[in-house]
Amino acid sequence: MTIHIPFNKPCIVGSELIYVGQAVAGGHASGDGPFTRRAQRLMEDRFGAGRILLTTSCTSALEMAALLCDLQLGDEVILPSYTFVSTANAVVLRGAKPVFVDIRPDTLNIDERLIEAAVTPRTRAIFPVHYAGVACEMDEIMAIARRHHLLVVEDAAQGVFAKYKDQWLGTIGHMGCYSFHETKNFSCGEGAH
């Protein structure tokens, strides 16, 4: 007997086709229409986030964040040794060097106790990943960033509506990226911020 255990089951609540119908009928089947604005406003309100910008995926959001960090050839970015490839690709695409720091066995997140030893004069940013929606030790990571004048970009692809202490994941660093891929907590096929 073969048992198929699906990798994921997208959460379908029943209103999807109605909303897609409204988007098509309203002439905004692509992005940046009324539904995009509603989603952006909802996340700004619920997460207390400064500004939300919907992109086509978390991969695009991470690549935009790396651009906004103004990474230059030879700059270094600290990230966990265990993540999805988009986190590292965003860095490599700018000509910067990903510096992988080992993860904690209990959370599978970057081990905050090992980060400072990986900082060099070329380090520009830390990209922590909240694996499976479990928060990284953000107090310690932000303190290290402040000490060394580094930017922090949270890869919160798997952490929509998850918290670290009383703060929403994705809103603690200087930038945060979410995924709305079909395999994530909330799905719109693709889509991110």
Catalytic residues: 184
Per CB under 6 A, 192 contacts ligand PLP:
yes
Grouping H, G, I as helix, E, B as strand and the rest as coil, residue 172 is coil
Buried b or exposed e, range 57-91, using 16+ CB within 10 angstroms: bbbbbbbbbbeebebeeebbbbbbeebbebbbebb
Q: Is residue 58 within the footprint of ligand PLP (CB under 6 A)?
A: yes
Is position 179 an interface residue for ligand PLP (rule: CB under 6 A)? yes
Site for ligand PLP in 97-156 (CB under 6 A): 129, 155
- With binding defined as CB under 6 A, does residue 43 bind ligand PLP? no
CA separation, residue 149 to residues 4, 102, 124, 139, 152 (Å): 49, 22, 8, 15, 10
Q: Comparing C-alpha atoms, which of 57, 69, 129, 131 is closest to residue 100?
A: 129
Nearest residue (CB) to ligand PLP, 68 versus 143: 68
Amino acid identity of residue 34, one-letter, is P
Q: Which of 47, 54, 65, 83 binds ligand PLP (CB under 6 A)?
A: 83
Q: Which of 94, 104, 124, 181 is close enough to bind ligand PLP by CB under 6 A?
A: 181
Both tokens of 150, joined, read 């580094």
Q: Which stretch binds ligand PLP (CB under 6 A): 1-9, 11-19, 52-60, 117-125?
A: 52-60
Instruction: Give the shortest CB-83-to-ligand PLP separation in angstroms.
Output: 5
CA angle 21, 24, 26 (to 5 degrees): 105
Q: How far is the CB of 84 from ligand PLP (least distance, A)?
A: 3
What angle is formed at CA 112 by the lines to CA 181 and CA 133, rounded to 5 degrees?
A: 25
Residue ranges binding ligand PLP (CB under 6 A): 57-59, 83-84, 86-87, 129, 155, 157-158, 179, 181, 190, 192
